[in-house]
């Protein structure tokens, strides 16, 4: 996967979320911060925290911006397999346990789909990537249960999707991303077009949705 996919995702996220004229500056600042491979990961993570503190209008994007930092680090900055048993990686994991969102799983799934030339599908994401049907992956099942048990969710309209969203337990970390995830797979599977959602989404949902579409298509 090329860096253009990650940059395009960041660009779509900022363009859909930020309404002021400073969008180009915000994008340039974040790109320089997140994608600077000469700076160690944890230093970039700290710099991102500091940037969010100075830009409170972007605070609700903090978790997905961390996801973008992580997916760039994993996908673009090549690591040998043994790296993930190293002290450096263990330190990264331990110091960022409370960072990021469930969207990182979707980013990683789409990265894998690009590499294997598989078209993204919700069922494939749940059963083949997250392995929600396997006994040892019941944590993933609990998080994504609202998508697993609602088999017809991709046929639902916005009102129906929001009804299901209300049942998503806040502690799963999925509730605020639920609508963008469903709409993303509706789009990926050819069930809906981009323009069908805009009037019903808030700026955060629209930003997340378009970020994932940009990542898939670039």
**Domains in the chain: boundaries:** 3-95, 104-197
CB 76 within 8 A of CB 36: no
134 CB contacts (<8 Å, ≥6 apart)? Answer: none
Tokens read off for 118? 């598989």
Global pTM reads 0.94
201 CB contacts (<8 Å, ≥6 apart)? Answer: 179, 180, 183, 209
DSSP type of residue 128: I
Instruction: State the burial class of residue 121 (Cβ atoms within 10 Å of its Cβ: 0-12, 13-18, 19+).
Output: middle
Tokens read off for 146? 């609202």
Give the whole-angstrom CA distance, residue 132 versus residue 196. 30
CB 104 within 8 A of CB 70: yes
Residue 101 exposure: Cα atoms within 13 Å on the Cβ side: 21
Tokens read off for 181? 């995830």
Handedness of CA 189, 190, 192, 198 (dihedral sign): positive
In a structure prediction context, what are the per-residue pLDDT tens digits for the chain, which is 218 residues long? 457 999 999 999 999 997 766 888 999 999 999 999 899 999 999 999 999 999 999 999 999 999 999 999 987 666 677 888 889 899 999 999 999 999 999 999 999 999 899 999 999 999 999 999 888 788 999 999 999 999 899 999 999 999 999 999 999 999 999 999 999 999 999 998 877 777 889 999 999 999 999 999 99
pLDDT at 66: 98
């Amino acid at each position: 996967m090329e860096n253009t996919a990650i940059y395009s995702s960041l660009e779509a996220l900022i363009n859909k979320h930020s309404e002021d004229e400073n969008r180009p500056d915000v994008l340039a600042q974040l790109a320089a911060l997140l994608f600077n491979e000469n700076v160690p990961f944890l230093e970039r993570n700290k710099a991102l925290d500091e940037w969010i503190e100075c830009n409170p209008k972007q605070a609700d994007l903090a978790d997905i911006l961390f996801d973008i930092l992580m997916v760039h680090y994993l996908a673009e900055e090549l690591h040998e397999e043994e790296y993930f048993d190293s002290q450096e990686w263990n330190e990264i994991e331990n110091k960022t346990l409370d960072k990021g969102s469930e969207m990182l799983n979707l980013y990683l799934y789409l990265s894998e789909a690009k590499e294997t030339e598989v078209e993204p599908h919700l069922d494939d994401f749940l059963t083949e990537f997250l392995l929600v049907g396997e006994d040892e992956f019941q944590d993933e099942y609990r998080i994504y249960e609202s998508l697993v048990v609602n088999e017809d969710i991709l046929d639902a309209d916005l009102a129906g999707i929001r009804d299901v969203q209300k049942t998503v337990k806040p502690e799963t970390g999925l509730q605020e991303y639920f609508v963008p995830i469903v709409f993303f797979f509706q789009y990926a599977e050819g069930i809906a077009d981009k323009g069908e959602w805009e009037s019903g989404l808030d700026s955060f949902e629209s930003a997340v949705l378009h970020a994932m579409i940009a990542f898939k298509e670039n």
